[in-house]
Amino acid sequence: MNAHDDTRAGLENALARAAEAETLLVALDFDGTLAPFTDDPADSRALPEARSALEELLELDRTYVAVISGRPMRFLRSVVDPAGRMLLSGSHGAELLLDALGDPDADTGLQLTPAQQELLARATALVEAQVARYPGAKLELKPTGAAFHTRTMADQSLCARAEQEMIEQFERLEELKITPGQHVVESSVHSATKGEGITAFMQATGADVTLFAGDDVTDENAMRELGPADLGIKVGTGESVAAHRVASPEELAAALAGLARLRRGAVR
């Protein structure tokens, strides 16, 4: 058995153990995890196999599904979960929606102070100027920050330089949170993290076992909140504290489908 087979077998065993949990929380990042990256972030959609697996899990007793993303809540509600059956955390933990638990009073909206609004405007202006310097680069404006995307740049050999310049420009703004990622440099005027989002969901559901999968640097904050009985899955390359790894969203979708089958048998 080669190293890849060892890794696959280890993940399959971990999924089987998770499926037997009394209460299971399946929490997932969106971009690069449930959905492949797209040139236009607005076009991103979960893979059909992943979507089907989540819908099957949502039908099962004592089983919760959550999406924890840097996307704004409006995108998560309209595109990711229009039926309102999932727990949602948007804007890197700054927005929480727990309606699926029947407790709307626990939801947290997003309100920026005047100082944060001014900081966001300054960060946005910096990204706009950087986009003008690098053809094909894009600005993504979020409720708490501005992101500089390089995946669509005309000259991909300049991506690293453009991203480093963006980091240096963001660093001039005090109180701005800066998070480099894969072909993106994100900024935020809010200090929340995905770790806060997953912690809120673990506490709200009383989960005995939590599975979390993510692909980027920001997801590591959530990975670090997992306990010994929980299951972390890194999607793609890069360093991670997760004990398990899959190569792509397609591989994760297959793993989720397997988990759904196992879980269906366990909760009967």
- E strand or H helix at 104, and its extent? none
> What's the confidence (pLDDT) of residue 109?
60
pLDDT at 143: 84
Residue 268 pLDDT exceeds 80: no
Q: Highest mean pLDDT: which of 8-17, 25-34, 138-147?
A: 25-34
* Class at the top of the CATH hierarchy for domain 3-110+192-266: alpha beta
How do residues 193-220 score in pLDDT, each as one tens digit?
899 999 999 999 999 999 999 999 989 9
Q: In CATH terms, is domain 114-188 a member of 2.40.160?
A: no
Distance CA 44, CA 148 (A): 17
Q: What is the mean pLDDT of the chain?
A: 92
Residues of the chain with CATH 3.30.70: 114-188
Count of CB atoms situated within 10 Å of the CB of 79: 16
Q: Calculate helix-pair angle for 48-58, 249-266, nearest 10 degrees.
A: 20
188 forms bridges with which residues in the sheet? 177
Pick from 235, 176, 175, 224: which is nearest to 196 by CA? 224
Q: Which residues contact 152 (CB under 8 A, 6 or more apart)?
A: 39, 136, 137, 138
Answer whether 233's CB lies under 8 Å from 212's CB: yes
Taking each helix axis from N to C end, the angle separating 3-19 and 249-266, rounded to the nearest 10 degrees, works out to 40
Please indicate, yes or no, whether the overall pTM of this predicted structure exceeds 0.85. no
| Average pLDDT, integer, range 77-94 | 93
Q: What secondary structure does DSSP assign to 63-84, as a single string?
A: EEEEEE-SS-HHHIIIII-TT-
CATH 3.40.50.1000 residue ranges for the chain: 3-110+192-266
Tell me what pLDDT residue 225 has. Answer: 96
